[in-house]
Amino acid sequence: MKPLRPEDPQQLGPYRLVARLGTGGMGRVYLATSAAGRTVAVKVIRPEMAEDKKFRTRFRREVAAAAAVGGTYTAHVLDAAPDAETPWLATTYIPGPTLAEAVADHGPLPVETVLALGAGIAEALISVHAAGLVHRDLKPSNVLLAADGPRVIDFGIVRARDGYELTGSGTLFGSLEYMCPEQATGERMGPEGDMFCLGSVLAFAASGRPPFSGGASAAVLYQVVHGSPDLGAVPEPLDKIISLCLAKDPALRIDPHRLSAACAPGGAEQVLTEGWLPAPVTAAIADHRAAAADLDLLVRTMENTAPGDEAEADDEKAGTYPEPDGASGSGTAFGPRAGAPSVPPPAPAAGRPLKPGHRRVSGRLPVSRRVVLAATAATAVAGGAALVAARRRTDGQAGRPLGPAPEPTWVYRGGPFLQTPAAFNSGTALLKARPGNMVCLDLAGGSRAKWVYEGISLSPTPVLLTYGAAIALGTGSTVIGVDPADGSERFTMDFGQTFQFDQLLGTYDGYAVSVLGASLHRRSADQGVATSTNAVFGVDLTARQAVVIPISPEDVGIPLQPVVTADYFVYADGLRNIAVRNTADGGTLRWRHPVGYDLRPGLAVLGRTVFAIGSELIALDLSTGKLRWRAMAEKGLFASLGAAGNTVYATGTSPYGVYAFNAATGIRRWFCPTPRLNVDSPIAVGPNTVYVPAFENKNGFYAVDTASGRLLWNFTDGRETGVNDWQISCDGAGHIVAQHFDRVYGLPAT
Tally of domains in the chain: 3
Asked whether residue 5 carries a pLDDT value surpassing 70, the answer given is yes
Q: Is residue 502 located within the same domain as residue 427? A: no
Residues 6+ apart with CB under 8 A from 122: 198, 256, 257, 259, 260, 263, 268
222 has a pLDDT exceeding 60: yes
The amino acid at residue 567 is D
pLDDT confidence bin for 312, thresholds 50/70/90: very low
CA distance 542 to 481: 12
Are 94 and 146 in contact, with CB atoms under 8 Å apart?
yes
Instruction: Provide the pLDDT confidence category of residue 25 given band limits of 50, 70 and 90.
Output: low
Q: Look up the pTM and report it.
A: 0.53
3-class DSSP state for residue 495?
coil
**Are residues 135 and 36 located together in one domain of the fold?**
yes
Most confident segment among 99-113, 120-134, 246-260, 374-388:
99-113
Q: State the pLDDT at residue 171.
A: 42
Is 600 a domain residue? no
Same-domain status, 466 and 419 = no
Query: Contact at 8 Å (CB) between 537 and 550?
Result: no
Confidence of residue 464 (pLDDT cuts 50, 70, 90): very high
Give residue 99's pLDDT.
95
Q: Calculate mean pLDDT across residues 430-450.
A: 95
pLDDT of residue 618: 97
C-alpha 482/C-alpha 464 separation (Å) is: 10
Which residues constitute the domain of residue 417? 371-448+707-750
pLDDT of residue 306: 43
Calculate mean pLDDT across residues 116-141: 89
Residue 340 pLDDT exceeds 80: no
Q: How confident is the model at residue 24 (pLDDT cuts 50, 70, 90)?
A: low
Q: What is the mean pLDDT of residues 197-225?
A: 90
Please name the residues in contact with 547: beta carbons below 8 A apart, sequence gap of 6 or more.
537, 538, 539, 540, 586
Q: What is the pLDDT of residue 296?
A: 63
Which of 165, 189, 166, 167 lies closest to 178 in space, CA to CA?
Answer: 189
What is the C-alpha separation between 225 and 247, in angstroms, rounded?
10
Instruction: Tell me how far apart the alpha carbons of residues 361 and 350 are, in angstroms, rounded to a whole number.
Output: 29
Supply the pLDDT for residue 349: 34
Pairing mode, if any, of strands 577-582 and 568-572? antiparallel
Residue 6 backbone class (left: φ over 0; alpha: ψ -120 to 50; beta: rest): alpha
Are 52 and 122 part of one and the same domain?
Answer: yes
Q: How far apart are CA 657 and CA 139, in angstroms?
A: 38
What CATH number has the domain bearing residue 195?
Answer: 1.10.510.10
Residue of 152 and 355 predicted with greater confidence: 152
Task: Judge whether 733 lies within some domain.
Answer: yes
> Taking a C-beta distance cutoff of 8 angstroms, is the pair 71, 123 a contact?
yes
List the beta strands (DSSP E) in 372-522: 410-413, 423-425, 428-433, 437-442, 451-454, 464-466, 469-473, 478-482, 489-494, 499-508, 512-522
Residue 261: inside a domain, yes or no?
A: yes
Lowest mean pLDDT among 336-345, 640-649, 660-669, 707-716: 336-345
The DSSP secondary-structure symbol of 554 reads G
Q: Do 380 and 255 share a structural domain? A: no
Give the whole-angstrom CA distance, residue 124 versus residue 366: 12
pLDDT reported for residue 599: 85
Q: What is the pLDDT of residues 27-52, one digit of tens each?
A: 789 999 887 778 899 988 888 777 77
Question: Looking at 275, 292, 309, which one is the last position of a domain?
Answer: 292
Name the residue among 384, 398, 358 with its Cα closest to residue 711: 398
Q: What is the mean pLDDT of residues 554-563?
A: 68
Same domain, 500 and 438: no
In terms of pLDDT, which residue wins out, 313 or 699? 699
Q: How confident is the model at residue 694 (pLDDT cuts 50, 70, 90)?
A: very high
Residue with the bigger pLDDT between 166 and 235: it is 235
The answer to whether residue 496 sits within a structural domain is: yes
- Under the banding of pLDDT at 50, 70 and 90, the label for residue 465 is very high
Say whether pLDDT at 356 is over 60: no
The reported pLDDT for the residue numbered 164 is: 34
Identify the top-confidence range among 370-384, 497-511, 524-538, 701-715: 701-715
Contacts for 240 with CB less than 8 Å, ≥ 6 apart: none
In a domain? residue 621 = no
- Encode pLDDT of 137-168 as tens digits: 899 999 999 999 999 987 644 443 333 343 33
Tell me: pLDDT of 387 over 50: no
In a domain, 322, yes or no: no
Q: Does the structure show a pLDDT above 60 at 302?
A: no
Of 217-231, 314-328, 683-697, the least confident: 314-328
> Tens digit of pLDDT for each residue in 401-418?
789 999 999 999 987 898
Among candidate residues 8, 79, 137, 287, the one labeled active-site is 137
Of 71-75, 199-203, 669-673, the poorest mean pLDDT is in 71-75
Tell whether 410 and 506 lie within a shared domain: no
Q: Is the per-residue pLDDT at 198 higher than 50?
A: yes
Alpha helices in 212-264 (DSSP H): 217-226, 238-245, 256-263
- 434 and 478 in a single domain? The answer is no
Q: What is the mean pLDDT of residues 571-590?
A: 84
Find residue 652's DSSP bridge partners: 638, 657
Average pLDDT over residues 563-574: 88
Residue 446 has pLDDT above 80, yes or no: yes
Residue 347 within a domain: no
Q: At what angle do helices 111-130 and 191-207 cross, to 10 degrees?
A: 160
Mean pLDDT of 179-190: 87
Assigned domain for 529 exists: yes
d(CA 125, CA 132): 11
Q: Name which of 163-172, 464-473, 710-719 the model is least confident about.
A: 163-172
* Residue 378 Cα distances to 72, 546, 697, 719, angstroms: 10, 38, 11, 10
Among 550, 566, 581, identify where a domain stops.
Answer: 550
**Residues 385 and 463 grouped into a single domain:** no
Q: Which positions ≥6 away from 215 have C-beta within 8 Å?
A: none
- Domain-terminating residue out of 292, 327, 352: 292
- Is 357 in contact with 83 (CB distance < 8 Å)? no
In tens, the pLDDT along 628-659 reads: 999 998 788 899 999 999 999 999 988 899 99
What does the longest C-alpha to C-alpha distance in the chain come to?
Answer: 86
Does position 1 have pLDDT exceeding 90, yes or no?
Answer: no
pLDDT of residue 531: 57
pLDDT confidence of residue 301: 56
Does residue 389 sit in the same domain as residue 524?
no
Whether residues 83 and 197 fall in one domain: yes
Integer Cα distance of 136 and 174 in angstroms: 6
Residue 585 appears among annotated catalytic residues: no
Q: What is the pLDDT of residue 316?
A: 36
User: Mean pLDDT in the chain?
Assistant: 80
Q: What is the mean pLDDT of residues 13-24?
A: 85
One domain for residues 273 and 382? no
Average pLDDT over residues 206-211: 94
303: CB partners within 8 A, 6+ apart: none
Could you give the percent of the chain with pLDDT greater than 70?
79
Output the pLDDT for position 391.
Answer: 34
Strand partners, 92: 40
